[in-house]
Amino acid sequence: MNEWVLRILILLGGVLGLAFVGYLVNVILRESEGNDKMREISHAIRQGAMAFLRREFLTLTAFTVVVFIVLAVFIDPRPFVAVAYLVGTITSALSGWLGMNIATVANARTANAAMKGWAGGLKIAFSSGAVMGFCVVGLGLLGLAIVAFIWPDESHVWLGFAFGASSVALFLRAGGGIFTKSADVGADLVGKVEAGIPEDDPRNPAVIADNVGDNVGDVAGMGSDLYESYVSAIAASMVLGVISLELGAVKGLFLPLLLAAAGIVCSIIGALSVRPKEISGGGFEEQVHKAHATMNRGVYVSNVLMIIASGLIIWFYAGNLSLFGALVAGLVAGFLISLSTEYFTSADRGPTKKIARAAESGAAVTIIEGMSQGMMSTVLPVILVVIGTVVSYIFGGLLGIGIAAMGMLINLGMLLAMDCYGPIADNSAGIAEMAGLGKEVRERCEALDAVGNTTAALGKGFAIASAALASLAWLATYFEVVHLEGGIASLTNVAVISGILIGGMLTFVFSALAMNGVSTGGFAIVNEVRRQFREIKGLLEGKEGVKPDYVKCVDIATKVALKSMIIPGLLVIVVPLILGFTLGPKAVAGLLIGALLTGFLMAVMMANAGGAWDNAKKYIESGALGGKGSPAHKAAVIGDTVGDPFKDTAGPSLNILIKLVGKVAVIFGPIFITLITF
């Protein structure tokens, strides 16, 4: 097929994704925001979220300018890599801004639609999540394809684009995670535990900051994380494909982009198949079950279509089905890892119920049991990634590993729609509570939120698994770039051993700094909420006309988040450079392996332990083991508070760590070769 025809088809795939975003935005904005109280609450959440994003982008701008200069001076005298880095940064930031913008206008609309029926609320929340999903795949494919078409013979330029996406992910994922959990921890400890008031109670000064955090952490943060994984897997596959003897340069360049374009089309069809129908007289559990089934239909449709489409593309374009086996291996591994995550975090499964029962013995036992379940949950994901890696390598060599990573992310538009649906449903439940919409509406929103908790947990498992495979693809790319024959040559090499140890240490230091940011922010929020309860007369009693100062808590969480992420952000970039400029490329290879090994395991453990603690609390709140206010519930709230920075800050941020060190290594690898080596 003519190259220009292929280019047009690929670009049309990205354009179609963005056109679908325009259609979804129109669907959402046609809905009413509800009464004055609902609009007021939604506006406060929106103001806080956009204020955080503006300040985050100001910090990111300064960081981007510095990196742009470094790339232009040291990597390429023609500033191609630096320009691609800038394009990657802008498109990733734009997708995060658009996705969160719509999420913050959809929350009240979801609650208002739920007043008429359950199905309407689900439709608005899912459509809003899909805006984030298709912004990511549309802008990601368009940006990377345009860069590749302008510089088709400059593979290092494509990597610059992926590096730009990583920079945004680092800021939004780590910074957003610190913000959201600072607010959440502060709100829970003073509101639920000390004051004994319900979650999302408008008397709590931190409640708006908590709802803002849902958006900056779980919409913009998750979107930027998976945007980075998406373009990383495609870019790594392009680089490995171009040097592949089996495909050759031209086919190696176009095949990953064609698969990504097909994935957008299949995801759109899957999203359109999510058509909720109203339940007459259905209770909470029936609504939850129906919502799961409705969204799962979209996943099944998009996956089946993508398997067929990718098989046809690889057969007709590559001439055989070996790479199709690698792609399916990645897709199946991702699906099974999601099931494993569901088993360890779902409220109706054994591990979470065991944690809930442990809560009857107090907070300490709850934390011990949660840590135990989190550690045990690493077994299956590791085995599945190992199997997926081996199978994909057998089918396609190093390129097969890159294609497997793409297979896991190929239907990202649909999968991210389900994940970003969660925080929007959570916000709608909060608005229903604060606006006093009544028990029936609150129950519908709670049902939507309960589904969102599961999709969010699945999304975290999926994000971690895709990060692991994407990191393996970057590791393979690094071996090719620095010409390390046989990988890292020898595990007895002193540079390799040093790199592995430092890579392993980096995971723990990064996690500690991220969690310290949450503890610092949480402490500040706790003190502020206590101060307002103490000094604003009539606030805790719910006196009419007395309102808390929500803005103060948002401001505190924002300042702490931006300050706390500076050192972790620098570490991820500086450590590979220091190691490469002192011990050489083999030490950096060891660093990538050490960071991947410990980062992957820690991320799985933290995400699953945190999700299980959260759902153990919700299981008790549903009426089990004494229900709300019981000793078991208070212990479970403590467990959930410990789990918050696990699952929403440190754990997800490790995805960025293990991918970003790989990009830094690949981009600066050619310089490392010219220096001292061991």
User: For position 102, what pLDDT does the model report?
Assistant: 92
pLDDT at residue 443, rounded to an integer: 78
Instruction: Assess if residue 262 is contained within a domain.
Output: yes
Instruction: List CB contacts of 512: < 8 A, sequence separation 6 or more.
Output: none
676 band by pLDDT with thresholds 50, 70 and 90: low
Give residue 553's pLDDT.
Answer: 86
Binning pLDDT at 50, 70 and 90, where does residue 490 land?
low
Report the distance separating Cα 633 and Cα 637, nearest Å: 6
Place of tokens 């999700």: 611
Pairwise CA distance, residues 117 & 110, whole Å: 10
The closest of 607, 652, 617, 601 to 352, measured between CA atoms, is 617
| Residue 476 resides in a domain | yes
Compute CA distances 275 → 133, 199, 270, whole Å. 17, 31, 10
Q: Which of 108-117, 237-246, 306-315, 418-427 has the lowest mean pLDDT?
A: 237-246
Query: Which of the two residues, 439 and 576, has the higher pLDDT score?
Result: 576
Q: HSE on the CB side for 58, CA within 13 Å?
A: 9
Does 278 or 642 have the greater pLDDT score? 642
Q: What does the buried/exposed string (b/e) look like for 166-181 if buried means 16 or more CB atoms within 10 Å of the residue's CB?
A: bbbbbbbbbbbbbbbb
Highest mean pLDDT: which of 242-256, 444-458, 618-632? 618-632
Q: How many angstroms separate the CA atoms of 165 and 535, rounded?
A: 45
Asked whether residue 617 is assigned to any structural domain, the reply reads: yes
The answer to whether residue 665 sits within a structural domain is yes
Q: What domain range includes position 337?
A: 3-275+282-673
pLDDT at 312: 93
Question: What value does the mean pLDDT take over residues 336-347?
Answer: 83
pLDDT digits (tens, 9 = 90+) for 500-557: 999 999 999 999 998 898 889 888 888 888 888 888 888 877 787 788 888 888 888 8
State the Rg of the chain over Cα: 24
What is the per-residue pLDDT across 263-290, written as a single tens digit (0 to 9) for each?
Answer: 999 999 999 998 888 766 566 667 777 7
pLDDT value for 408 = 83
Each residue of 254-270: b (16+ CB within 10 Å) or e?
A: bbbbbbbbbbbbbbbeb
Longest dimension (CA), the chain: 75
For residues 660 and 572, the answer to whether their CB atoms sit within 8 Å is yes
Q: Is residue 427 part of a domain?
A: yes
* pLDDT at 280 (0 to 100): 63
Confidence of residue 485 (pLDDT cuts 50, 70, 90): low
Q: Are 431 and 42 in contact (CB under 8 A)?
A: yes
Mean pLDDT, the chain, integer: 85
420, HSE (Cβ side, Cα atoms, 13 Å): 38
Query: In this structure, are residues 615 and 453 in contact, taking their beta carbons and an 8 Å threshold?
Result: yes
579-607 mean pLDDT = 91
Q: Which residues of 398-434 are buried (b: 16+ CB within 10 A; e: fewer)?
A: bbbbbbbbbbbbbbbbbbbbbbbbbbbbbbbbbbbbb
Contact 96, 172 (CB under 8 A): yes
Q: Buried b vs exposed e over 458-497: b needs ≥16 C-beta within 10 Å?
A: bbbbbbbbbbbbbbbbbbbbbbbbbebeebbeeeebebbb
pLDDT of residue 29: 92
pLDDT at 578: 92
Per-residue confidence at 52, pLDDT binned at 50, 70, 90? confident
Please, what is the Cα angle at 308 between 474 and 394, to 5 degrees? 40
How many H-runs (helices) and E-runs (strands) does the chain carry? 22, 0
Backbone φ/ψ region at 538: left (φ over 0), alpha (ψ -120 to 50), beta:
left
551-583: pLDDT as tens digits: 888 888 888 888 888 888 888 889 999 999 898
Comparing CA positions, the residue from 668, 659, 647 lying closest to residue 599 is: 659
Residue 620 contacts residue 678 (beta carbons within 8 Å): no
pLDDT given for residue 243 in this prediction: 77
**The amino acid at 110:** T
Note whether 470 and 334 are within 8 A (CB): no
State CA 389 to chain mean position distance: 22
The upper half-sphere exposure of residue 81, i.e. CA atoms within 13 Å in the direction of its Cβ, equals 22
**Does residue 193 sit within a domain?**
yes
| Tens digit of each residue's pLDDT (9 = 90 or more) over 304-337 | 999 999 999 999 887 778 889 999 998 888 878 8
Write down the pLDDT at residue 282. 60
Asked whether residue 93 is domain-assigned, the answer is yes
The torsion angles phi and psi of 179, rounded to 5 degrees, stand at: -60, -55
pLDDT tens, residue by residue, 82-122 = 999 999 999 999 998 898 889 999 989 999 988 888 788 88
pLDDT of residue 376: 95
Does residue 245 surpass a pLDDT of 60? no
pLDDT at 489: 52
How many other C-beta atoms can be found within 10 angstroms of the C-beta atom of residue 117? 16
pLDDT at 391: 93
- The residue type found at 407 is G
367-407 pLDDT, tens digit per residue, is 999 999 999 999 999 999 899 889 998 998 888 888 888 88
Q: What is the mean pLDDT of residues 329-353?
A: 84
> For residue 327, which phi and psi values (nearest 5 degrees)?
-65, -45
Q: Is the pLDDT of residue 259 over 90?
A: yes
Q: Which of 302, 314, 305, 332 minimizes the C-alpha distance to 258?
A: 314
Whose CA is closest to 441, among 8, 114, 193?
A: 114
Cα–Cα distance measured from residue 310 to residue 407, given in angstroms and rounded to the nearest whole number: 9
3-state SS assignment for residue 515: helix
The mean pLDDT of 345-370, rounded to a whole number, is 90
Q: Mean pLDDT over residues 219-230, rounded?
A: 84
Cα–Cα distance measured from residue 342 to residue 285, given in angstroms and rounded to the nearest whole number: 17
DSSP code string of 54-99: HHHHHHHHHHHHHHHHHIIIII-SSTHHHHHHHHHHHHHHHHHHHH
Residue 322 is predicted with a pLDDT of 85
The pLDDT assigned to 162 comes to 87
Residue 678 forms part of a structural domain: no
Name residues whose C-beta falls within 8 Å of residue 388's C-beta, 6 or more positions apart in sequence: 329, 330, 332, 333, 404, 469
pLDDT for residue 369: 95
> How many domains does the chain divide into?
1
CA distance 49 to 47: 6
Calculate the CA 577 to chain-centre distance: 26
pLDDT of residue 651: 85
